[in-house]
Structure 1
Amino acid sequence: MRRRQQLDVLRIDRLATKCCGEILAAAVLAAAPDGVSTIEQAATYAENNEVISIELVKKDLFFGWIYEDLISIKHSLSQINFEEIEQFDRAKQDTFRVLDIHLIAICERIENNTSGIKACIKKIFANLTKRPKISHIALQLLVSVREHLESSESFVIQGWRSDSKGRPCGRRRTAVVTTEAGYAIQAI
């Protein structure tokens, strides 16, 4: 019954991992260490120098927030236990505390108006004149992250957005039985 949601959780985890790598590479490109001038070189540098790359991410407020949000999304996904959810489904119990609460946390990390992933990327692009160190290539990586988030057609995340036509983020279901249809979610 939850197979589609399980696949979406795995896909979202892969997406968050890919976005983490792209944010690390963008931070490396923005810092421009010696010998790093291409996306491939930045990705290799970030992979071989993870601690330094994370420090570079944290030097930029928005890069840091994006990276922390992506790590938080991965953590929320790791908390979802589909065996436990199936037990709740069989017992016709509300899955709010074992599934819904994690999906709400993910949506908040993406959609938060001040420090969410989309807001941070938007602010980076809005303040390009104040950010001369961000290279054109680094901006391409940020566009890539934004495109991943906006084009992702997730069955799991669609209905949890605060601007969705379905149930808004944070509002608990009152029905005893939760079904896959109750989790139809718009794209991130």
Structure 2
Amino acid sequence: MRLCLVRHAIAVERGLPGFADDASRPLTQEGRERMEAAAAGLRLLMTANALLTSPLLRARQTAEILQNAFGVEDSRVSEALASGAHGALFDDANATGGETVLAVGHEPFLSEALAYALTGDSAGMSAQFKKGAAALVEFHGPAVPGGGVLEWLMQPAALRAVAGERPAGA
């Protein structure tokens, strides 16, 4: 199986009036537009047939963009993507039966999940997921701690460039 970890797109800043509840912060218009372009680039790099998302609004909205870009019908909420329960995330991914599963979540949990996939230890390495970044991990069989091989980690500007968007100032 392949697991593609994706950080949610740019959302409304924490603590702004009307957005005191972190779980209900939506994507900004800029975040939506950038994620749509990044999703187009991601779609050129891979296919997916299942999707997991954190229950937080910004992740669900990002997942919706990915679901539309990939035409994924199997979309499920995974509490593990909001809590950092990496073993439960792998269980949820395996339970989809998908060959390639998109998993939309948050930092620092995604960096920890990547480390857990590659080393078996959530603190076993350091990685950075900017908002809208993605990493593809391949497992030979089901997702298990330490059983993954990193195919790539791409920041959102690189994904947008794959889709043909010119970098600012170019």
Normalization by structure 2: what TM-score? Answer: 0.26
Between 1 and 2, higher relative CO (CA 8 Å, sep ≥ 6) is seen in 2
Which has a greater percent of strand? 2
Which has a greater percent of helix? 1
